[in-house]
Chains A and B, each alone.
Chain A
C-alpha cells in the first residue's frame, strides 16, 4: 500500500489567523474590535484597504469568535463579487436573510449575540442601485442583522452606506511585519530563505501578504526547499532589472529604430507591459543623471500609458509611444512637430 500523500492546502488559507488578535499589525483595528467583541454589540462595519492586508480574515475571525463552528453557517451570510450583486439580490436574498429573527441560544461557550451577520466581500463591485437598495434594509433590520462591508476603495461605497458603518482602515504591511510572518511560515514548512530573498519577496509583493505567501509557496513547489531571489522573481512575474535598464539604454541612444527593436523584444519575451511601466517609473524617478523637467515629461507619459493599458489598449503601441516620448524628453525634442 503506497503511503497516502497529503493534499497540500494553499498556505494562504492554512496560515490564515483564526482570532482577531492574531491579525498581524493592524493595531488600531484589532484593539477596537477586541474591545467591541467583549460586549458583543457590534455596529455595522466597513473594512477598507489594499489587497492582502487582512480585511476578509478579520471579518471571518469576528464571525467565528462570536458564533463558533456550529452556528456559523446559519448565522453568517457571505457574499462575494462572484455572486450576482445586482439590485435583485439585495431585494431577495439579503432581505430574506436579514428579516429572520434569531434566538439567543448559547452554544459551546461562544457569545452568540441575538443577531446575524452578512459579510459583503468586495463591496466596491456592487452596483450603485444595489447599494442604495441596501440602505433601508440596513436600518429596518438593524436589531437582528449586522452588515460587514469589505472593499479596496472606500470612495466606491456610497455615502449613505458609509455613514452607517464604523470604518476600519487596513494599512499596507511593512517589510518588517511581512518578514516576521514569512519567516514563521518558512520555519513551519522547512524552507530556507536568505536575507536577500526575503527583501526581494517584500519588494515584489508591495505590502500584500497574500501575494507574498502565494509567491513563497509557488517558489517552494518549483524550486525545492532552498529559495533564492531569482526564483522568487521568476514566479512573481516581476521583470528582471536588466530588461528595464536595457530599455532605458536604448532610449538614451536617441535612435528610434534601436528603441523599437528593444520594444519588440520585450513584447516577444512576454513581459507584462503594465509591470514594465511600473518598474520603468521607479528607474526614471531614481535616476541621478536626468534633470527634473525631463523626468516630469517621461512620468506624465507613463501615467497616460498606464491609463490606456487599463482601458485595454495594445501593449506594443503603448510601450513604443512611451519609448518614443522618453527619447524626445531625453534629447529635449519638442513634443509636437512644427514645420
Chain B
C-alpha cells in the first residue's frame, strides 16, 4: 500500500494539517443537520481526506464499505433519448462521483442522481441521519448548464440529500451554487507542515532522515502534500539509507518539459519548432493536461530569462492558455506559444548581441 494512502487520516480527530478546519467540521455535524458544503483549494491539500473523514464522522464505520459500480441512466428529453454511463463509488450512506466525466451531458447526470437519491430514503430512517450524502468531485469542471441545474435541485431535495462539492477553485463555480453552500477553504500545507508529516511517516516506517532531507522534499513538492509523500517513498525505493544530498527525481513528464524548454532556448528555427511539436504530441497522447504542460513550460522558461522578457512571456502564456480553453485542439495553442516565444527571444538576442 502506498504511504500516501496508508497514512491518510481516517477520522477528523487524526487530521493534523488542517486541525482547525477539522474541529469546525466536527462541530458542524455534531448537530443533527448539516448544510451543503463546498470544499475548495489546490490539489494535494487534503480536501478529499477531510471529506472522507467527515462522512465517517457523520455515518460511522458503515461509510467505509464502499463499492464501485458503473451506472447507466436512460433519459428521455422528448426530442431524443440519452444514455449515459458513469462510474460511482457508493456506500449505504453516500455516493461519490465525477459528473464532469459525462462531458456536455453532465447536467442530466447531476439532476438524475440527486432525484434518485431523494427517492430512495435512507435504509435505516431511524439511524443517525435522515439524509444521504452525495459527493461531487471537480465541480469547477461542470458546464454552466449543469451548475444551473444543480442550484434548484439541491434546494428542492435538501431534506433527503446533502451535497458535498469538491473543486480546485471556487472561481469557476457559479455564485448561485456557492451561496447555497458553506464554503470551506482548504489551503495547501506550508513547507513546515509537510516536513512534520514526512517526519511522522519516517518515524512510523523506522527510517533515518538526514538533516535537511525532509525540507528539500517539501520545497520540491510545491506545497503539494501528495507529491511530497510520493517523492518520499520514491527516494526510499531508490536509495536507502538516504544520502545527505539526495533529491527526489522529477516526474517523467516534467523532465520532458524541461528538455523542451532547453531546446527552444538553444535554437529558434522552424526545424526546432517541428521537433518541439513532436514532443508536445508525445506529452498529449500520454494524457498530460495541456494547461499543466503550458504552466510547467512557462516556469522553466522564466528561470532563464531577463526581467523584461519575463513580463512579455507570462502575458503570452496567459493569452494562449485562454485561447486553448476556448478551442478544442490544444496542440495548436501550445505550438503557437512556442512560436511566439521563439520570435520574441530571437529578436531579443539579435538586438542585444548584434
Contact = CB atoms under 8 A, between A and B. Distances in A.
Contacts of B31: 5, 8, 221
Interface residues of A, number: 65
A222 B344 contact: no
Contacts of A321: 314-315, 317-319
A116 to B, nearest CB: 21
A58 B307 CA distance: 57
Interface string B270-310: 00000000000000000000010011001000100001111
B348 interface: yes
Contact of B308 (A5, A320, A337): A337
A311 B323 CA distance: 9
A29 interface: no
Contacts of B183: 235-237
Interface in B193-244: 222-223
Interface stretch (B3-11, B61-69, B147-155): B147-155
Contacts of B223: 268
A175 interface: no
Interface string A259-299: 01000100111111111000000000000000000000000
Given A81-B148, A309-B171, A317-B295, A218 B111 contact: no
B182 interface: yes
B42 A82 contact: no
Nearest to A318: B318
B165 interface: no
Interface stretch (B50-58, B85-93, B172-180, B247-255): B172-180
B325 interface: yes
Contact of B156 (A5, A82, A316, A318): A82
Contact of B77 (A86, A260, A317, A325): A86
A315 B171 contact: yes
Given A81-B151, A82-B111, A268 B295 contact: no
Interface string B259-273: 000000000000000
Contacts of A327: 311
Nearest to A301: B315
Interface in A184-238: 208, 210-211, 214, 217-218, 221-222, 234-237
Contact of B27 (A125, A222, A324): A222
A308 interface: yes
Interface string A299-333: 00000010011011111111011001101100001
B318 A272 contact: no
B32 interface: yes
Given A82-B150, A272-B171, A320-B318, A312 B45 contact: no
Interface string B317-354: 11101100110000000000000000010011011000
Nearest to B173: A272
Given A8-B33, A214-B180, A270-B186, 17 more contacts: A5-B32, A52-B179, A80-B151, A80-B152, A86-B78, A88-B79, A221-B35, A237-B178, A271-B185, A272-B40, A309-B171, A314-B295, A314-B318, A317-B318, A321-B315, A337-B308, A337-B348
Interface of B: 24, 27-28, 31-33, 35, 40-42, 45, 77-79, 111, 130, 145, 148-153, 156, 158, 169-172, 175-176, 178-180, 182-183, 185-188, 222-223, 291, 294-295, 298, 302, 307-312, 314-315, 317-319, 321-322, 325-326, 344, 347-348, 350-351
Interface of A: 5, 7-8, 10, 51-52, 80-84, 86, 88-89, 92, 121-122, 125, 208, 210-211, 214, 217-218, 221-222, 234-237, 255-257, 260, 264, 267-275, 305, 308-309, 311-318, 320-321, 324-325, 327-328, 333, 336-337, 339
